Amino acid sequence: MQQLTIQDPDITKLIGAELNRQRQGLEMIPSENFTSLAVMEALGSVLTNKYSEGYPGKRYYGGNEFIDQIEELCRTRAKKLFGVEHANVQPYSGSPANQAVYFALLEPGDMVLGMALAQGGHLTHGYKLNFSGRFYRSVSYGVEKENERLDYDVVREIAKKEKPKLIVCGATAYPRVIDFAAFRSIADEVGAYLLADISHITGLVLSGDHQSPVPYADIVTTTTHKTLRGPRGAMILVPHSADRLHDRYHQSTKRDLAGLVDAAIIPGLQGGPHNHQTAAIGVSLKEAAEPSFADYGHQIVKNAKALAESLTEAGLTLVTGGTDNHLLLVNLGNTKLSGKVAETLLDEVGITVNKNMIPFDPRKPMDPSGIRLGTPALTTRGFTEDDMRIVGKTIAAMLQCPDDESVKAEARKTIRSLTEAHPLYPEL
């Protein structure tokens, strides 16, 4: 960062401090990851200078010869990798991508059925203060009290009663697999569109560690910066041709889903695409097509299971008793800590997690009863099961003896040795 160092020492210093924080800590927020340097080079390129409202071959600005090729390459890679007929790679991030799907399929006031925020869903799945709950009528499904898992018969009953026009499946804090086939059959039964928002698990879908929604959903959205390990951004994938939809919904006029999605992004919601982001997404899709990406996906799940085991052995309670994917939720009920206190405590020694509601949480969202932990970022650093067991023991000791300075000192030592054994961005 030669120029930046000369021109803006303040920002340079803060970026350096953030790099050190990332290097010296254990990043365990399940929605975070470390991109490759190649992804960051594409992000930091001259592509940020260019305006290109529209789509390849149909722009409102001149000079897009190379931008067109970049976006086309990115779209082609996405279509091939996910096995879908259409991909829109322009959404600025995950929330705008979902907004575009609502805009494409619904009229204001139409009904949406999504997973409740307090039970693992996302803000954009119908939360009352979000656009999705303000411009649309939203109803929600959640997990069952006895096993903290989705019960598809219950979801079906809610759908039959409420008759939503769109059903959203996918989650931000659900440690178990999602049965997209079951959601498809529910959507068919009530004549609803099915949106699968796989933001959190895209990397696992690509590695074969989670069922793919592509055969089942009408539209798939995903962020690109979580398990996919690309830059911040999102994609909207349209699996199937308009004809199949035409049959399914008995539409009198044929709805071209791909066209509706593209029109929802621009002119519906966005102006110029972020071309540097598009190129970086393209780079991450190329990385995700390499065989080593599947190993990374398998390792994420193995690491999460090893972490779950060590936390459970140490006496902590996990929501649903464990995990099938990249994340787990600790129910702090049998410690003396709230989620907020636990987050701060772990932060003190360099373990970054986030406080999180647990299902049927008696506490408030800003200070809930749980924390959420994930393994994608540590897996990218090269952590394996043995490391995760050490991490699990360390976290458990911290949570169980929050006032013990010797436990904190020991935790700091452990974290130093783990992070030194798995250096982050050694080239920088």
Ligand X SMILES: *Cc1c(COP(=O)(O)O)cnc(C)c1O
Residue 152 annotated among the catalytic residues of the structure: no
Taking the complex as a whole, how short is the minimal distance between the CB of residue 98 and ligand X, in angstroms?
A: 6
Residue 226 annotated among the catalytic residues of the structure: yes
Residue 59 annotated among the catalytic residues of the structure: no
* Residue 52 in contact with ligand X, rule: CB under 6 A: no
Identified catalytic residue from 27, 71, 162, 197: 197
Site for ligand X in 126-185 (CB under 6 A): 170, 172
What residue number has its CB nearest to ligand X?
94
* Residue 200 in contact with ligand X, rule: CB under 6 A: yes
Among 94, 126, 282, 374, binds ligand X (CB under 6 A): 94
| Residue 326 labelled as part of a binding site | no
Q: How far apart are CA 402 and CA 331, in angstroms?
A: 16
Determine the interface stretch with ligand X among 89-97, 238-246, 264-272, 415-423 (rule: CB under 6 A): 89-97
Tallying the residues shown for the chain, one arrives at: 428
Q: Say if residue 109 is exposed, middle or buried (CB neighbours under 10 Å; 0-12, 13-18, 19+).
A: exposed
| Residue 133 labelled as part of a binding site | no
Cβ atoms within 10 Å, residue 268: 14
| Residue 106 labelled as part of a binding site | no
Identified catalytic residue from 12, 32, 50, 51: 51
Nearer to ligand X, 284 or 394 (CB): 284
Please report, for residues 87, 89, 234, the alpha-carbon distance to residue 73 in angstroms, rounded to integers and kept in the order given: 11, 10, 16
3-state secondary structure of 370: strand
Which residue from 61, 42, 37 is spatially nearest to 51, judged by alpha carbons?
Answer: 61
Taking the complex as a whole, how short is the minimal distance between the CB of residue 97 and ligand X, in angstroms?
A: 7
Helices within 200-274 (DSSP H only): 202-206, 242-249, 257-263
Please report, for residues 21, 119, 146, 307, 336, the alpha-carbon distance to residue 392 in angstroms, rounded to integers and kept in the order given: 20, 24, 26, 5, 18
Which residue from 315, 397, 330 is spatially nearest to 368, judged by alpha carbons?
Answer: 330
Taking the complex as a whole, how short is the minimal distance between the CB of residue 85 and ligand X, in angstroms?
A: 22
* Residue 229 in contact with ligand X, rule: CB under 6 A: no
Among 12, 24, 93, 270, binds ligand X (CB under 6 A): 93
Q: Checking DSSP bridges between strand 111-115 and strand 166-169, what pairing results, if any?
A: parallel
* Residue 95 in contact with ligand X, rule: CB under 6 A: yes
Return phi, psi of residue 374, to 5°: -140, 160
Residue 51 annotated among the catalytic residues of the structure: yes
* Residue 197 in contact with ligand X, rule: CB under 6 A: yes
Show binding-site residues for (6S)-5,6,7,8-tetrahydrofolate. Answer: 117, 121-123
By annotation, the residues acting in catalysis are 51, 53, 197, 223, 226, 232
- The residues of the shown chain that bind ligand X, judged by CB under 6 A, are 31, 93-95, 98, 122, 124, 170, 172, 197, 199-200, 223
